[in-house]
Chain A
Amino acid sequence: MTQSIADRELDLELIGMTCASCANRIERKLNKLDGVTATVNYATEQAHVEYDDGVTPDSLVEAVRAAGYDATPVVPPSPTPVVTDDEDPAPSRAEIELAELRQRLLVSAALTIPVIVLAMVPAWQFTYWQWLSLTLAAPVVVWGALPFHRAALATARHGTTTMDTLISIGTLAAFGWSIYALFWGTAGIPGMTHGFDLIASRGDGAGNIYLEAAAGVTTFLLAGRYFEKRSKLRAGDALRALAEVGAKDVTVLRDGREVTVPIGELQVGERFVVRPGEKIATDGVVVSGASAVDQSMITGESIPVEVTEGDTVVGGTVNAQGRLEVEAKAVGSDTALAHMAKMVADAQAGKAQVQRLADRVSSVFVPVVIAIAVGVLGFWLGVGGGITVALTAAVSVLVIACPCALGLATPTALMVGTGRGAQLGILLKGPEVLESTRRVDTVTLDKTGTVTTGEMSVTEVIAADGVDEADLLARAAAVEANSEHPIGKAVVRRAADLGIELPLTAEFRNLAGAGVTAFIDGLRVTVTGPRDVPVPLDEQMRKRIAEASDAGATPVVVTYLDAVAGVIVVSDTVKPTSAAAIAELKRMGLRPVLLTGDNEGAARHVAAQVGIDQVIADVTPEGKVAAIAKLQESGRVVAMVGDGVNDAAALASADLGLAMGTGTDVAIEAGDLTLVSGDLWAVVDAIALSRKTLATIKGNLFWAFAYNVAALPLAAAALLNPMMAGLAMALSSAFVVANSLRLRGFRSKRSSMTKAG
């Protein structure tokens, strides 16, 4: 979340919202201001506002107040956690509100239970029981339901209605009628009893009380609000956990001395020390030391990553082994961790298209329902059904119609889904991405770094006749040890893996663009590409080199003693999980396409290894965009998975862009989804989780609508007791919240496949 005046963007924390209609109302009020574009999210209780120079933050707050609510600008998250002496940080406003709501709920429930029990069990209705009921129910309806009355009054002053209007009118109507019946009717006389029925019937209104309905509805709704608020707090756990990953203090090297300072004082370019077991304070480059770094909280990968001088490290990860000296490259809001937190927050603050429809429906729903309730009252009075039936029907209509579940349907599913995604290393850029994942039928995959590791490794060593394979590798590795080239590193790594000791070299030279050369024991050893071999190649070697090239690998030729000693074949290796993940994508009905700038042979070789049938090779970054456009023209809905800067344009042009990386790349800005782990299983999980989240939203909306549509006629026909209407409504909200929380149990397909295997 940002508050940047220069960018003319502001996040407002909204106070006093009680339902989706409130959110809709504030949004409309803000958008009426010239030069203002605002999105209000009921779930996060925040407004994201973009505004012109002519508008001030104060005028935005004023607009919210004019709508009957309050607002405060969101303070941008501190790049560093605020360090206080207190072990327990001060509770947030949401936590205080939740505690207040809990107190209100508990008191109301304690008072309501005897009222309901007395009303339901005629045998326990002692003399004057109705007056005890009034004594117990009055605080519930007046104090317990105060948040509803207050919100209803605030909006009524502005000539509008919200769902609180329905609740307030419904409970006050039931309570007011009971007061009338007790004081001016016949319900207050000693010895009065009445039964309890789910279905209302004709009777003498002045002899009946509805205190159990008024108190019961209030308590059920308070319970609904309480669990809704609690779920909202819980749904934000992932984001908070992400924000808390960062280190609090850092040991900086200043004038050769180690000084521990709060992380906020760390500057870009400063060197800091990370001891074993400590969190790396911020993003940087290792300048001294080597260690294994546990990146699990960032990438979800459980295996520590080896780092040494020159390697980049990400803030928030844990140094598992040795002492590291790191030069800070990014601090505060520029770090990968801060970017990740912002992406999650933005996705949660956004609003899916389906939710806007629900908001529009809610805004006209309330006045229409009040009109229906009045109409029902008139009809039953006109038809001679009696005041009891008429009032029961009207109050039931008001209570049953509250579209709380409707307002909760999208935000809760979105928050839980994106939160779970963040835990799995899947960051959604916005809720509209969900719709794209449903429609996607083709997944184009970049080759290097996406399907393959992007790291070269030796796949074959071909020694010439009479040459020892280990000796060949030792000499080549000794020469390449002086080189920084990826091929050289691969050769050295292979020699090290085999435990081969490297001989000493002298007079190392880099043959620009051709290879490397050095002297070993007085003999010149050269490692070059096949075109630059200084001596003639025999037929057999030529054939092996051609075979390797056709398979997409890179052969290098080692020569010494003026003869070819052998060929070392180096190639980019396929990630061990790629084939299984691509098989799963196919099983999900998606068609994988390999899209690469590499030559056709290399591309086909990799495609065959992982089970991809369609290959588009030899394409430039612009060519990738054109290839995606061509697929789209043929009616495909295309997702693009890529990792590099060269994939950025393709990621942006695809219907769904999935960027693999650590959250710092250009690709991430261009993509719709960021996959932190860099594993193709993350693509499977991202699409599966997004589809499941969308299905949950639709399921929630369906049940919320179906409930209102089905229950309204029942209530209007006086076939539903108001208290049962309140209970059913609270249950529908609870159903929606519980349905959304099911997304917390989403399991990575990788882990389920591993278990199955």
Chain B
Amino acid sequence: MTALSRPGVRIAGFVAGLAVVFGVLFGIGQAVGPWDDDPQPTHGHSTEHDQGGAHG
């Protein structure tokens, strides 16, 4: 049985791979950003309330 055929090793390897992908893409995003062509939400989800009172 090779190390790679063990489920635990494979899951750990996959998660590590995902972390690398996330990091690389996050870095690329930061490099090409910021995304500010639509700073005010004109559609989609919005809140119409006092957001300050929401935390708690």
Contacts and interface: CB of A to CB of B under 8 A. Distances in A.
Contacts of B35: 202, 383-385
Interface stretch (A186-194, A422-430, A436-444, A478-486): A186-194
Given A378-B22, A382-B33, A208 B27 contact: no
Nearest to A209: B45
A207 B51 contact: yes
Interface string B8-22: 111100100110011
A376 B25 contact: yes
Nearest to A189: B54
B2 interface: no
A371 B54 contact: no
A739 interface: no
A251 B9 CA distance: 66
A413 to B, nearest CB: 34
Contact of A202 (B14, B26, B41): B41
Interface stretch (A151-159, A469-477, A527-535): A151-159
Contacts of A380: 29
A202 B49 contact: no
Contacts of B18: 370-371, 374
Given A201-B41, A383-B34, A385-B35, A378 B47 contact: no
Q: Is the interface of A mostly helix, strand, loop or mixed?
A: loop
A377 B22 contact: yes
B29 A381 contact: yes
Nearest to B7: A159
Contact of A383 (B11, B32, B50): B32
Contact of A157 (B7, B26, B34, B53): B7
A158 B7 contact: yes
B47 A192 contact: yes
Contact of B27 (A158, A185, A192, A382): A382
A187 B53 CA distance: 11
A199 B44 CA distance: 7
B48 to A, nearest CB: 5
Counting chain B residues whose Cβ lies within 8 A of the other chain, the interface size class is 35 or more
Contact of B28 (A206, A382, A388): A382
Given A375-B21, A376-B25, A379-B28, A388 B55 contact: no
B49 A186 contact: yes
Contact of B14 (A185, A367, A383): A367
Name the interface size band of chain A. 35 or more
Contacts of A370: 18
A204 interface: yes
Contacts of A186: 47, 49, 51, 54-55
A503 interface: no
A388 B53 CA distance: 20
Contact of A375 (B14, B22, B55): B22
B43 A382 contact: no
Contacts of B11: 156, 159
Contact of B45 (A195, A374, A385): A195
A207 B47 contact: yes
B19 to A, nearest CB: 8
B31 to A, nearest CB: 8
Most chain B Cβ neighbours within 10 Å, of A160, A200, A378, A388: A378
A383 B35 CA distance: 6
Given A384-B34, A388-B44, A188 B54 contact: yes
A157 B8 CA distance: 8
A376 B21 CA distance: 9
Contacts of A209: 45
Contacts of A158: 7
Contacts of B49: 186, 189-192
Contact of B38 (A201, A206, A377, A382): A201
A310 interface: no
Contacts of B51: 186, 189, 204, 207
B44 to A, nearest CB: 4
A211 to B, nearest CB: 12
Interface string A152-178: 000011111000000000000000000
A193 B48 CA distance: 6
B8 to A, nearest CB: 7
A194 B41 CA distance: 11
A282 B4 CA distance: 56
Contact of B29 (A160, A208, A379): A379
B15 to A, nearest CB: 10
B45 A203 contact: yes
Contacts of B9: 159
Contacts of B33: 382-385
A192 B14 CA distance: 39
Nearest to A201: B44
Nearest to B39: A202
Contact of A192 (B6, B41, B42, B48): B48
A382 B30 contact: yes
Contacts of B45: 194-195, 203, 207-209, 388
Nearest to A376: B25
B22 to A, nearest CB: 4
A187 B7 contact: no
Interface string A381-424: 11111001000000000000000000000000000000000000
Contacts of B14: 159, 367
Contacts of A195: 43-46
Contact of B44 (A156, A188, A200): A200
A157 B55 CA distance: 37
Contact of B25 (A157, A199, A208, A378): A378
Contacts of A184: 55
A197 interface: yes
Contacts of A197: 43-44
Q: Which of A197, A370, A371 has the most CB of B within 10 A?
A: A371
A346 B28 CA distance: 52
A195 B47 CA distance: 9
Contacts of B27: 382
Contact of A374 (B22, B43, B48): B22
A371 B36 CA distance: 26
A187 B54 contact: yes
A501 to B, nearest CB: 87
A375 B6 CA distance: 26
A384 B7 CA distance: 36
A76 B30 CA distance: 63
8 contacts: A184-B55, A186-B54, A187-B47, A195-B46, A201-B42, A207-B47, A209-B45, A378-B29
Given A195-B44, A203-B44, 14 more contacts: A156-B11, A159-B11, A185-B55, A192-B49, A201-B41, A202-B44, A208-B47, A374-B18, A378-B26, A381-B26, A382-B30, A384-B29, A384-B30, A385-B35
Interface of B: 6-11, 14, 17-18, 21-36, 38-39, 41-51, 53-55
